[in-house]
Structure 1
Amino acid sequence: MIAEIETLMQHWAEQTRRCGMEASLSSPMGTLMEFAGGMPRNLPGPRELMANGAGPDHIAREIEAALARLAHQGERGQLLFKLANLRYLPVPALSVPRQMQLLALPMSADRTYRNWVQRLHERVMRDLLRRAQCRAA
């Protein structure tokens, strides 16, 4: 396991759970429809969405892009993508034995599970570095 990538993956999961991977603001047409033609003005209350930004932060979007690329890299990539979703997204977190069961691994395959986590971290790190290099060029 790569500790830095583990931290980034946990951050991605928290961001995904908190605000999903899609950011959106209401449209004027949607607001007109919601309020039957009369758009509200100067409503009191917090403006959290605008103040804190909409959707996940840049780091979470980069992790999501790396995972999406991984999901399109054959059967092994899809398996690692599934591992990422099982390991990081559920609340409360799934136990390792439960994750192994959902991945169709025998309970005696703890070493295999740890190797898959390592491989997931390596592939995500490689893709993050590739994406950073593309932006720098």
Structure 2
Amino acid sequence: MIEAIEVLLKHWGDQLAQNGLGGGLPSTMGTIVEFAGCAPRGGVYGARLLVAGAGPDYAAAEVNQVLYGIERLEGGSALVRLAYARYRNEPRLTIAEQVDALELGKGDAGRRAYYRQVGVLHERLQAGLLERQGKLAGMRREARRDGERMRKAAAQQAGAAHRGRGREFEAAQGGQGAIAAHKAHKAAAKTAQADRSSGDSAS
């Protein structure tokens, strides 16, 4: 058993009990009747997931996705049934009741088989979550590289456009060197203005 995965699965079960799998909003009157007021707020603020009873938070949604993947593997459906029996079922079942419901055997043999299954569930879930996080990190790196390429291309395009406008200006002002002459003229005008302001120039 992996303690961190056990905590995460308990959170997943609580989220499903409170918020369901998402996809819709509860009615206002139904929420007031169920909770005697406003629904408890769940979810992660700033995320795109809805809050206040409209679906599981990010962590629980990630567990859901990995469980869907596990279910498609050999023996995975039994592990998913175990996850629902251990972490989601309301009212909560005792270990003996879970062993009986999952048909894992009788007595000590059934309990040993049950805890072996819990261990396998934890290992597969941890591996699936790490794989998803690795893929997400790769997607983020690729997005950053794409962004850098786009910024570089935009800077090059802007530079080329600026140089093109410079050539057009020179052509309109009498050929190559017109830009330098224009800058020198502006600098001379600024110097003359500064001299007049300081009183250094002759009246």
Q: TM-score range by the shorter chain?
A: 0.7 to 0.9
**What is the percent sequence identity of the aligned residues?**
36
The number of equivalent residue pairs is 118
2: CA distance between counterparts of 1:85 and 1:51?
23
Q: How far apart are 1:51 and its partner, in Å?
A: 6.4
* Partner residue in 2 for 1:91: 90
2: CA distance between counterparts of 1:25 and 1:3?
33
Cα RMSD for the two superposed structures: 2.3
Is the 2:66–2:129 contact (alpha carbons within 8 Å) kept by the matching residues of 1?
Answer: yes
Q: Which has the higher contact order (CA 8 A, sep 6+)?
A: 1
Q: Kindly tell me: are residues 67 and 113 of structure 1, through their superposed partners in 2, closer, same or farther at Cα, counting changes over 3 Å?
A: same
2: CA distance between counterparts of 1:47 and 1:15?
13
Deviations 1:14-51 (A, max 9, x none): 0001010123348xxxxxxxxxxxxxxxxxx9697776
Higher mean C-alpha displacement, 100-109 vs 49-58? 49-58
Pick the structure with greater CA Rg: 2
**Mapping 1:60-75, distance limit 5 Å:** 60-74=60-74
TM-score with structure 1 setting the length: 0.77
Is the 2:71–2:80 contact (alpha carbons within 8 Å) kept by the matching residues of 1?
Answer: yes
Higher mean C-alpha displacement, 51-60 vs 114-123? 51-60
Q: Name stretches of at least 5 consecutive residues in structure 1 with no aligned partner.
A: 27-44
Matched, 1:120 2:121: yes
2: CA distance between counterparts of 1:10 and 1:47?
20
Q: How far apart are 1:98 and its partner, in Å?
A: 0.9
TM-score with structure 2 setting the length: 0.53
Greater share of helix: 2
